Chain A
Amino acid sequence: MTRSHRPTHPLEWYRDPDGRGIDARLHLLDRQMLDVDGVPVSTVDDVELTGGEGQPDPEHPPVVASILVGTAVLPRIFGGHVPKAEWNRVSWDLVAKLHTAIDLRVHVDELNASWVERWVRDRIVARIPGGRHDPE
């Protein structure tokens, strides 16, 4: 962190004096994700953290491991849990920049998280007359 020019309470650090803090609900959840070409991918439905459950490891505090999209949104609305195997993950390492949107470093078609959209596009929309080109 950048040090203050005047004496401050050491616990002020937790109140994010230098703007490097990211509050999950305020800055992360429901943000739009854009692929490397600026194509909208999805929104952030939930976030997976490393560790954290049970007794936290003081040496390794939880970090954001991946962004969850798709079915992960259901527990936020209805409660309960979706099995881990059903989560569609976008690894945090694929994130290029977090700002008012989340820029990814990959193309949308390379993501497993977008398989439902690709399936609907290729199997359903493409078979509708006029479904293979832009509207004129």
Chain B
Amino acid sequence: MILSDLLGSRVIEPDGTMLGLVVDARFRKGPARRNREAQLELVALIVSPRSRLSFYGYERGRVNRPAVIDAIVRRLHKGSRIIPWECVARVADGEVRLGVKAPVIPLDIRVPIEEP
């Protein structure tokens, strides 16, 4: 599978609700290896209900200047969330089907994770 097959895919919950489009994929570095970069393991998908673009990290809540751009990007990506890869049941034909209802993990680190 190539990454482009995932980016832009629609994410659908088990009950048929569409959560949005995959705007990015979050990998995690594995154990360090001698003279080589660590393996990158896919851990989660970043899903936005409004936008299909990623924007230089503003929407992740770690960059907030200039304030005007921050405000625009935050508005565009309102409701963006992280879907753990463990929740994914099937990837095919531009769709990512979830096997379980995914926990709500807001992408913006300034927004607390709330219990359902």
Contact = CB atoms under 8 A, between A and B. Distances in A.
Interface string B37-58: 1011111101000000010110
A132 interface: no
A130 interface: no
B113 A9 contact: yes
A96 B35 contact: yes
B23 to A, nearest CB: 7
28 contacts: A11-B105, A14-B26, A14-B43, A14-B105, A16-B28, A21-B27, A21-B28, A21-B43, A22-B26, A22-B29, A23-B26, A24-B26, A24-B27, A25-B23, A28-B27, A47-B3, A48-B3, A49-B1, A49-B2, A49-B42, A52-B1, A56-B90, A62-B41, A63-B39, A68-B2, A96-B36, A97-B37, A98-B37
Given A61-B43, A92-B37, 5 more contacts: A24-B27, A25-B54, A46-B2, A46-B3, A63-B40
B42 A63 contact: yes
B57 A26 contact: yes
Chain A, interface residues (CB within 8 Å), range: 35 or more
Interface residues of B, number: 44
Contacts of B4: 46, 75-76
Interface in B51-71: 54, 56-57, 60
Interface of B: 1-7, 23-30, 35-37, 39-44, 46, 54, 56-57, 60, 82, 84-86, 88-92, 103, 105, 107, 109, 112-113
Contacts of B89: 55-56
Interface in A4-31: 9, 11-12, 14-16, 20-26, 28-29
